[in-house]
Structure formats: C-alpha cells, structure tokens
Amino acid sequence: MRAMYLTKNTGIWYLITVASLFLVIGGLITLITGIRARRNKGKIFLKGINVLAGFSLFMILMDCARFAYLSEPDPRYQPFQLDLFELSWGLYAGVEAVLLLFLILFILDDQRYRSNHLTPDAIRETVDLLPEGLCISAPDGTILLSNMQMNAICRTMTDSVLSDASRFRQMIETYAEKQNEETLIRTSEGKTWRFSQDQLTEEENQYDLLTATDVTAQYKAIEELREKNERLKDIQQRMKAVSDLFGDMFATQEEMDARIALHNQLGQVLLMGRHYLNHPENTDAKRIYLATAQMNSFLLGEVQRPGNETEDEMELALSLAGSIGVSVKMTGEPPLDHGPRKLLADAIRECAVNAVKHANGDTVFVEIDGNTALLTNNGSSPKGLITESGGLLALRQRTEAAGGTMIVQSQPAFSLMIRFP
C-alpha cells in the first residue's frame, strides 16, 4: 500500500480524514455524556483516551496533508513525524476502525446505563416532557431548573426567556386573576394556567418551586356552567313572575265567577220575589224562602256558591224557571252525562231569567237533537245586537272550557244554541 502522504487528493484521503473528524466529535459527545451522568472515573478515563487518540490521529493527518503539498521538506518536522507520514494508509484506516469500535462500545454502554440508572439527562428529558410548567429556583431568583413548558409560558407572557424567577413570580401576582383562592393567568393563546408556589428543602437548603397547570378545559366548563346558571336564574325569575301573574289571573277568575254567581242568584231571587208578589197563588213560598236563605249565606261567606248539591241540576233549573213564572217546554231527551246536563241546565236558567227581564216572555222552548240544544222564548225580539255579559258571558266561558260551542242570535228572534262536547 502507498504511504499516507501519497494518497492526497484521492477518495481514500478524504474518507480517512473525514472519518477521523467524526471520531473526534463522537468521542467528545460520549465523554461529555459520561461526565454529566457522573460515570465512574475508569469509564471517563477510557473515553478521554479515545478522544485524545482520535484527535491525535486527526492532527497527524492534517500535518501529513501539509507535508504532501510542500515542494521540499519543512525543517520543522521531526524525524518521527516523517516516519508517520511514510506509514501506509491502511494502517491509519485500521487505527480508525479500532477507535470506531471503542466509540460504538462506549455508546452502547451509555445506553444500557441510561436504561438502568436515573441520570441528570434523563431527569431533564422527563421534566421537559411534562405537560405542566415547572421551575425550581434559588431564593434570589436564580433559575436552577426550568422545563420547556414553563419557558414557553414565559415567552408567551413576556416575549422573553425565563431568566429571573423572582421577577416572573411578581409579574404573575400582578396580572393574575384570583378565583377560589387560585392564581389564574389567561394567555393570548386562549389558555388558562393555574400557578402554585411551594418550597423544597434539601440538605438544609431551600428552593422555590413554581408550577403551572393547564386548566383551560376545566375553567371553560366552569364559565359555561356560570353562564347557564345566570340564564337559569333569569328563567326562574320569569317563571316566578308568570306564576304570580297566573295566581293573580286565577284570583281574578275566581272573583269574577263569584260575582257572576252572585249576580245570577240575586237576579233570580228578585225575579222570584216579584213573581210571588204578582202571583202569590202560583208561587212556592217555601222555595223563595230557601233561595233567599241561600243568598244570604252566600253573601255572608258561609257557603261557596248558592245551590243544593243534592238535587239534580236540571230539576233545579226547571224549578227556578217555574218560580219566576216561566214554563219550559222541552222536546228531545236531555243529556245524562253530568257535564253536558249541567251546561243545558245553566242555559235554561239563563234563558228563563232573560225571557222575564228583557223579553217579557213566560215560555222557554228547548229543542234537543243529539248533542245540540236550541233555546228560544215567546217574548219580544231584541231591539239590537245582544252584548254578551254577566250570565251569557259566564255560560259561554263554561261551554268553551268544556270543549263545546255556543251561538247566540238576536234576529229575527232571540235564540241560543249549545253544542255539547
């Protein structure tokens, strides 16, 4: 094989030279890794020898290259150097192969060591992979350990790297939002971080621990719940207002029903009294007495509504009509169900009273056909349109509330039609 200096400007020369450079770099990396991992001195010594050997080989190759480019030998070169330049390039390649083998063994040994031992690099890598921000500092604010997440948070908040823990904590206290004794910072990225501070003690030395936890999802849910609670409060207030309004409406409805009942009963009693004065021989004085007594009890609040619930509504309506001098002529069978029967009884009672009061009539005709009843009288026709109020209005409300319909006509004569539900 040719001497090493004679291989200049060939592929062999560049390959051996570049290989020696990589051996130096790789040896330095393994040496630094061993020092940081606090390996035993023997391992570090062997790695140092490997680096020194690789560096020496690289320097020999550089001198050899310079010697090869000179036109005449440089007197500064020593005889042993000239002997090194004359050595075969294969020998240099063999030395590099041995150094490469040792480098590979060192790398494999470091990997086994890291897998079985907790090294500072492993701790650093683990801390950097944490999703939480972590910063350990001395009491004067000097950063001893800060992971990537905390550095990223600091850059987002201050546009600078984390270099002073004391100043960073002061800024957090200044701009933080306090909620339930928690310190919160909302960043421009839309995230919410919860900061907490603690102290660590090791061999009588105290260190400050600052942690940041991403609580964006939790506090977003809390904000949504708070908004929903506000809407629920508003809905509750509106429901209460509606409830109060309905209460007032029900009270008003009950008062109106009581007034209508009072109006109807009072009108009936007065008509019964007038008929008794005009026709005492055709009037049941006992019924007038009972009706008057019921009216007085109603006025005094001793009963809720006038009436005798032991009697049939239809019989009461026919008896009332007779007591005020009105006869009821009915064709067809009245309904047997309580609801429609009571509606028909109320209609007969109302038509009988109105026949006497407004039409000077004394007969009410009731034509029943299935679920429809038509009521007319033999009195005079109304002079104009009938305004539904008092008893007629109450009768319509009860009919429609039960699901039926009511039609009142005034021309050519008064008629009232009820279609039962």
Please report, for the domain that includes residue 195, its CATH number.
Answer: 3.30.450.20
Q: What is the pLDDT of residue 145?
A: 86
Taking 60 as the threshold, does the pLDDT of residue 301 lie above it? no
Residues 15 and 154 in one domain: no
- Which token pair is 329? 């002529």
- Any domain includes 45: yes
Which residues form the domain of 165? Answer: 131-214
Q: What is the pLDDT of residue 63?
A: 82
Give the distance, in angstroms, between the CA of residue 72 and the centroid of all CA atoms in the same chain.
88
Residue labelled with tokens 């090869």: 68
Residues 409 and 271 in one domain: yes
Residue 157 identity: M
Question: How are beta strands 327-331 and 363-369 bridged, if at all?
Answer: parallel
- CA 140 – CA 161 distance, rounded (Å): 18
- Any domain includes 75: yes
Residues 286 and 363 in one domain: yes
Task: Enter the pTM of the model.
Answer: 0.37
Q: What is the pLDDT of residue 242?
A: 67
Q: SS3 of 74, please?
A: coil
By mean pLDDT, which of 67-76, 101-110, 118-127 is the weakest?
67-76
- CA 254 – CA 337 distance, rounded (Å): 25
Q: What is the pLDDT of residue 228?
A: 82
Residues 17 and 116 in one domain: yes
Q: Are 3 and 85 in contact (CB under 8 A)?
A: yes
Residues 286 and 398 in one domain: yes
- Any domain includes 77: yes
Residues 39 and 92 in one domain: yes
Over residues 311-357, the pLDDT tens digits come to 688 888 888 888 888 999 999 999 989 889 999 999 999 999 888 88
- Band of residue 35 on the pLDDT scale cut at 50, 70, 90: confident
Residues 67 and 158 in one domain: no
Strand-by-strand arrangement of the 327-331 sheet: 327-331, 363-369, 372-377, 415-419, 405-409
Taking 70 as the threshold, does the pLDDT of residue 120 lie above it? no
- Any domain includes 224: no
Taking 60 as the threshold, does the pLDDT of residue 159 lie above it? yes
DSSP-derived letter for residue 312 is -
- What's the CA angle centered on 310, arms 304 and 311, to 5 degrees? 105
Residues 400 and 338 in one domain: yes
Residues 254 and 175 in one domain: no
Q: Are 92 and 16 in contact (CB under 8 A)?
A: yes
Q: Are 364 and 321 in contact (CB under 8 A)?
A: yes
Max avg pLDDT among 97-101, 214-218, 285-289: 97-101
More confident residue, 223 or 301: 223
Residue 298 identity: F
* Domains of the chain: total: 3
Q: Nearest to residue 165, comparing CAs of 140, 133, 185?
A: 140
- Band of residue 90 on the pLDDT scale cut at 50, 70, 90: confident
Q: Are 265 and 295 in contact (CB under 8 A)?
A: yes
- Any domain includes 225: no
